[in-house]
Structure 1
Amino acid sequence: MLPPLKALPVFESVARLNSFSLAAAELNVSQSAISHQIRALEDYLGESLFQRQGRYLTLTQEGKNYLDVISSSLSHIARASNQIRGQEDTKIRIAVYSSFAVCWLMPRLSDLQHKHPNLDITIAMTHGSPELSDKTADCFITTDQGKRGFESTHLYQETLFPVCSHAFYEQMKNTLNLSSDDLSKQLKSSPELLQKFPLITSNGIYNDYTEDWLNWFTERNLTPPNNIKFHKFSHLLLAYEAAKHSLGIALVNDYMFSDKDSNNSLIRVPTYGIHTNEHFFFSYKTSRRNETAIKAIKHWIVNEASSLKTHT
């Protein structure tokens, strides 16, 4: 038996806005009508969906669980109805890691908008892995995959490599008394030379500071000395900025740096890179795979990400 269907969009609106009065304004009904619909739904379910503490309103655990299903179902109904009416939704939300959004996606957004001017795109940045849910976004760039009901297309495996500013590279040449060509040859044959200079580390990829560089050295069976000077930052974006300001040599990943960018204030140090265990995917709900906006974003991102696979 179905619940009182009129109450479902009311519940979704109250839960999303966290307010009876705001939901009433959005749905153009009285606040008492909102209260009546919520009470009818709670009576039907036999559970409280909201906790009311004075002026504050929060979802109960049952309310949170119910919202996950109801909001998704209402979205599906709205999209299906709009498709039949010839009014397919062009609004799309992309959830993506903050460093990926700032360094890779933002410089390319104008190209995406040029190729798909009808899309109304919202970018949601996340520090950790975004929750794969319609309430978070419509599609995701994430290292998570395999959630039931979602499809994931592999984009690439992450690579880390050393970079520094042009000024810092000149400082390296002067310190070692080498020409550009000679320094390049030395670094390729003796990468341990980097330990003579300050190294920039972050814990954005690995759990602890210096783990990024320890993995880099281990790749060539090198044991770094204990007296290396490290500059520590909590986020990869901060490490990237520190390198731009000549604080030292940073390990950054391939989506943060392009050898083809003539305006890049960093240069790739001529030595090896390492793969991390992270794989990036473009993910979306399986039930939404045929939506025009999802298909357009997927095709564009997969095509753009193909350049990342060329890094070694």
Structure 2
Amino acid sequence: MSRPPLQALLGFIAAARTGNLTRAAESMHLTVSALSHQIRAIEERLDRRLFVRGARGVKLTEHGQALFDRIAPHLEAIEQALQPRRGRRDDALALTLMPSFASSWLVPRLPSFLAAHPQLEISLQSNIDPIDFARESSIDAGIRFGPGKWPGLEAVHLFDDWMTPTASPKLIERLGRPTLATLSEFPLLGAPGGRWSEWFARYGGSPPARFVAIFDDSENLHRAAAEGMGIVLGRITLARPLIEAGRLVELFDERLKTEFAHYLVYPSRSADHRGLATFRDWLLGEAEVYASSDAMAPAGARAAKKTARAKPKKANKPGARAVR
């Protein structure tokens, strides 16, 4: 048998990590056709199908996952050995995260962490694409909103998220406040199908004939709603700063749980990074507080809680014995 096709295996690993042939091909400086040919050659050699191709990309088959688990650590070690080595610093931490999560959740909390750990230097790199830690050796870890399973990476669950219709006070003043039954009569932001369809199926009403606008970026979608363009099925974590600033209002107590959650992800080479360990412990603590906070409770539940706190306690009747 001929020698293992190393270049083709690298292409296979890239496709498995990104779940997308186009991005994998770009990372390998290949055409999609060339990468597909390489993967097909491996499949023919093994007489096994390695990927299932779908509308949203590619997904490993059972045989593909087994191959990935066996060869990925070795190829990663080879790539790292051939790359220029950077000095390992446990007091410097490089993170990749999505811009929307950075601005809405992490950055407002970072000052307290840095004040408690002034010796730690943090570098934040905003990126919405999947990160290939084998090639990006300068990145120690990332924070991603996803399914929680990335081949070859450790994924630590931070918190789940929720969605609910959200609108600007300007829109409510102009058009009134919708009910569950009349929601579809208002201008909605998004796209047919998806979570809006699930919302109407679960809570009633009929999907609209058309949506006002469609965005491919969650942050711009929420900001468009804050400007009064329409009602967004807002993700609570992204909408929260705008809600607290009075630019968005939750319309209902009803919510949908997002299909994905927030995770801290990192490769095996970062497992013993002391700076990452310190950051991970702090991050998990912040995530736990946030998940149980009023911010993640429905608007009605927060109002009821606030009312209960504000109620004066009944005085004991004269002569009555206080219960301790």
TM-score range, shorter chain: 0.5 to 0.7
RMSD of the alignment, in Å? 3.4
Give the match for residue 165 of structure 2. 162
Give the match for residue 212 of structure 1. 195
Post-superposition shift, 1:198? 0.5
> Would you say 1:198 and 2:200 are equivalent positions?
no
Describe the shift of the 1:267–1:213 C-alpha distance in structure 2 as closer, same or farther (beyond 3 A).
same
Describe the shift of the 1:293–1:198 C-alpha distance in structure 2 as closer, same or farther (beyond 3 A).
same
Distance 1:75 1:138 in 2: 16
SS at match of 2:130: coil
Distance 1:136 1:230 in 2: 42
Give the match for residue 31 of structure 1. none
Post-superposition shift, 1:308? 4.5
Give the match for residue 233 of structure 2. 251
Q: Which runs of 5+ in 2 are unaligned?
A: 1-28, 30-37, 39-72, 298-324
**Count of residues in Structure 1 that have an aligned counterpart in Structure 2:** 222
Post-superposition shift, 1:262? 3.9
* Counterpart residue identity of residue 220, structure 1: Y
The answer to whether the 8 Å contact 2:147/2:260 transfers is: no
Deviation digits for residues 150-184 of structure 1 (CA, Å, limit 9, x no counterpart): 322111223211211122222243xxxxxxxxx5x
Give the match for residue 171 of structure 1. 174
* Counterpart residue identity of residue 164, structure 2: F
Give the match for residue 270 of structure 2. 288
Describe the shift of the 1:264–1:130 C-alpha distance in structure 2 as closer, same or farther (beyond 3 A).
farther
* Counterpart residue identity of residue 105, structure 2: W
The answer to whether the 8 Å contact 2:164/2:235 transfers is: yes
The answer to whether the 8 Å contact 1:150/1:286 transfers is: yes
Distance 1:293 1:268 in 2: 38
The answer to whether the 8 Å contact 2:99/2:127 transfers is: yes
Deviation digits for residues 71-118 of structure 1 (CA, Å, limit 9, x no counterpart): 645799943xxxxxxxx5311111112221222222222223222222
Percent identity of paired positions between Structure 1 and Structure 2: 21
Which of 127, 150, 153 matches 2:153?
150
The answer to whether the 8 Å contact 1:96/1:126 transfers is: yes
Give the match for residue 111 of structure 2. 110
TM-score, length of structure 2 as denominator length: 0.58
The answer to whether the 8 Å contact 1:94/1:139 transfers is: yes
Post-superposition shift, 1:123? 1.2
* Counterpart residue identity of residue 170, structure 2: A
The answer to whether the 8 Å contact 2:104/2:240 transfers is: no
Post-superposition shift, 1:195? 1.3
Distance 1:68 1:287 in 2: 10
Q: Which runs of 5+ in 1 are unaligned?
A: 1-50, 52-60, 80-87, 174-182, 202-207
The answer to whether the 8 Å contact 1:149/1:287 transfers is: no
> Would you say 1:138 and 2:140 are equivalent positions?
yes
Alignment of 1:231-310 (within 5 A): 231-258=213-240, 262-310=244-292
* Counterpart residue identity of residue 206, structure 2: T
TM-score, length of structure 1 as denominator length: 0.60
